[in-house]
Structure 1
């Protein structure tokens, strides 16, 4: 009896992040396993549960134990990182980070599960993320039935203190949503108080800082963008990934009053993020920009080593920002 072994052919190899095969299957090489929500975390006292926002969008909600049934808390709407193609609000790493942050800030943290590329090319993740922000904001008005409302949000969200934020691709999403919020009203006329861009994933054809000066189209971060948004007008100089390319909307339109940009010394994305912060300051935007730079660390180091003293300090900075 003859047996035939079929080897799948790789279409796109972006190791160590992801591989895409010619048969359409996707192999995510970097993956933190999913974990269930916690009725109550014994270490932090933070409750968590999952919520369905739409057929394509969901979220994990983290609630520190309230002192009374309608205690109002600051809100962080968080977008996870992963180059738009990996990561999850339900992963062990993100669940752990959000639980610790919720406890530290005394904040209601809503971590959004958006659709990933390449199965769902951009702008799907941006639309999912905006839909989640609209859904959360809709709890500020009486337009929903009780069955449509998420009680943790209705009972505990202080909509005068709502921030958005994210790491890496999530920081990119937070930037683009802050711009959108500057021109498109949210339900209940909710205003974004602050935005945290942690190690934001911005890129472009003109190298900045430590970015490669040669064969830039072969770099992993360039290729990840092409995988995420193959039809992007302008390619790597689309305004969604390069916020100061020709034709990009003015940074003065950011729809928040405070901005925190977090970078690490050893991260290749740091140079562009620092230029971004300077350009926001120069744009005429009427807000406060804070840049937090961590020495001797790499990209999103705090997610992987949450017990690191520098990670603890960064989380405390986030917590102070959120709770203002």
Structure 2
């Protein structure tokens, strides 16, 4: 991309994104897109791209089957990227999701929601809810949707999971809260939720967070004001701060199993720990697991899924989904 150094910057959110006053957007992170594959040479996983609605697309992953009629757990997955970059099609998330599908023996629907700042929040949440409803609608006999044969033939709707990494984990949290108050098609229930390095923030520190990070200039705070400028409460909007005074109780999570995966060096880890503790104290009647990986940083297992610690975390994710 040509340099934009001479143009006036509206939002400098380096090293993630720059937004210029003339409307130009310069994404500073992300990896190239890669095609779907009828069979990955390493994992044996098949992938394909589908259209859910004119605005919402997805990439589906089907692991190698031991039986042509085999039923598999279903994971509706939301990718990370700070709400502003990447997709199911980029190398980083395609490679990770392919590995997870093989390890967990799970049918994965990786959702391509619309990105900010071209599409301010809450559009990403709306797209993500649309995708979940589309997947679940496969259980309804007289549905008007165009059914996907992989989901129809191989999806086990008694083992429906929702999960995501970073911004995708934020989306997954909000989607499963919504599922706690809005019945899904066929009154289907989500079995489990996993949140991996969830993107949560607020105006006041929690746990051992540094006070100096809460002067309104932290990257998370500035990013949120760029991607959701109309958010009631700003950085204390319940969508990004589940501990805000007006946030809905985590008692309302619409699932029965929860796994929270964190990394020791991640600046958002204290909020992930508080999230797991708050769910336990809320009276929520489900199983809560918390994993904190020593010596690692935000989404390390996606950035390089081949390190020993990344492999171990992916195995734990897979065990949660497939158990």
Asked if the contact 1:210/1:268 (under 8 Å) is kept, the reply is no
TM-score by length of 1: 0.96
Alpha-carbon distance change, 270 to 48 in structure 1, aligned in 2, over 3 angstroms: same
Structure 2 Cα separation of the partners of residues 292 and 109 of structure 1 = 22
**What are structure 1's unaligned runs of at least 5 residues?**
none
CA drift of 1:70 comes to: 2.6
1:187 corresponding residue in structure 2: 185
Asked if the contact 1:77/1:112 (under 8 Å) is kept, the reply is yes
Structure 2 Cα separation of the partners of residues 118 and 143 of structure 1 = 38
CA drift of 1:228 comes to: 1.3
CA drift of 1:23 comes to: 1.1
1:213 aligns with 2:211: yes
Number of aligned positions between the proteins: 319
2:294 corresponding residue in structure 1: 295
CA drift of 1:212 comes to: 3.8
Measured against aligned partners, the alpha-carbon deviations of 1:75-129 in whole angstroms (never above 9, x if no partner) come to 1111011111112111101000111000001100110000011110000000000
Structure 1 Cα separation of the partners of residues 126 and 46 of structure 2 = 28
1:155 aligns with 2:153: yes
Structure 2 Cα separation of the partners of residues 245 and 40 of structure 1 = 45
Measured against aligned partners, the alpha-carbon deviations of 1:231-277 in whole angstroms (never above 9, x if no partner) come to 00000111101101111111100000000001111000001110111
Alpha-carbon distance change, 13 to 274 in structure 1, aligned in 2, over 3 angstroms: same
CA drift of 1:210 comes to: 4.8
Structure 1 Cα separation of the partners of residues 314 and 87 of structure 2 = 19
Measured against aligned partners, the alpha-carbon deviations of 1:284-312 in whole angstroms (never above 9, x if no partner) come to 10111100110000000001111101000
1:36 corresponding residue in structure 2: 35
CA drift of 1:69 comes to: 3.1
1:229 corresponding residue in structure 2: 228
Secondary structure in structure 2 of the residue aligned to 1:208: coil
1:265 corresponding residue in structure 2: 264
1:90-169 alignment, distance < 5 Å: 90-144=89-143, 148-169=146-167
1:310 corresponding residue in structure 2: 309
Structure 2 Cα separation of the partners of residues 294 and 216 of structure 1 = 28
Alpha-carbon distance change, 82 to 6 in structure 1, aligned in 2, over 3 angstroms: closer
RMSD across aligned positions (CA): 1.4
Secondary structure in structure 2 of the residue aligned to 1:118: coil
Alpha-carbon distance change, 291 to 112 in structure 1, aligned in 2, over 3 angstroms: same
Asked if the contact 1:80/1:94 (under 8 Å) is kept, the reply is yes
Structure 1 Cα separation of the partners of residues 207 and 97 of structure 2 = 31
1:11-30 alignment, distance < 5 Å: 11-30=10-29
Alpha-carbon distance change, 6 to 223 in structure 1, aligned in 2, over 3 angstroms: closer
Greater CA drift, 209-218 or 31-40? 209-218
1:87 corresponding residue in structure 2: 86
1:320 aligns with 2:319: yes
**What are structure 2's unaligned runs of at least 5 residues?**
none
CA drift of 1:190 comes to: 1.4
Asked if the contact 1:166/1:196 (under 8 Å) is kept, the reply is yes
CA drift of 1:66 comes to: 2.0
1:171 to 169, 172, 194: 169
Structure 1 Cα separation of the partners of residues 5 and 216 of structure 2 = 32
Structure 1 Cα separation of the partners of residues 155 and 252 of structure 2 = 25
CA drift of 1:6 comes to: 9.7
Runs of 4+, deviation exceeding 3 Å = 209-212
Asked if the contact 1:81/1:168 (under 8 Å) is kept, the reply is yes
1:76 corresponding residue in structure 2: 75
1:45-60 alignment, distance < 5 Å: 45-60=44-59
Structure 1 Cα separation of the partners of residues 317 and 269 of structure 2 = 18
Asked if the contact 1:199/1:273 (under 8 Å) is kept, the reply is yes
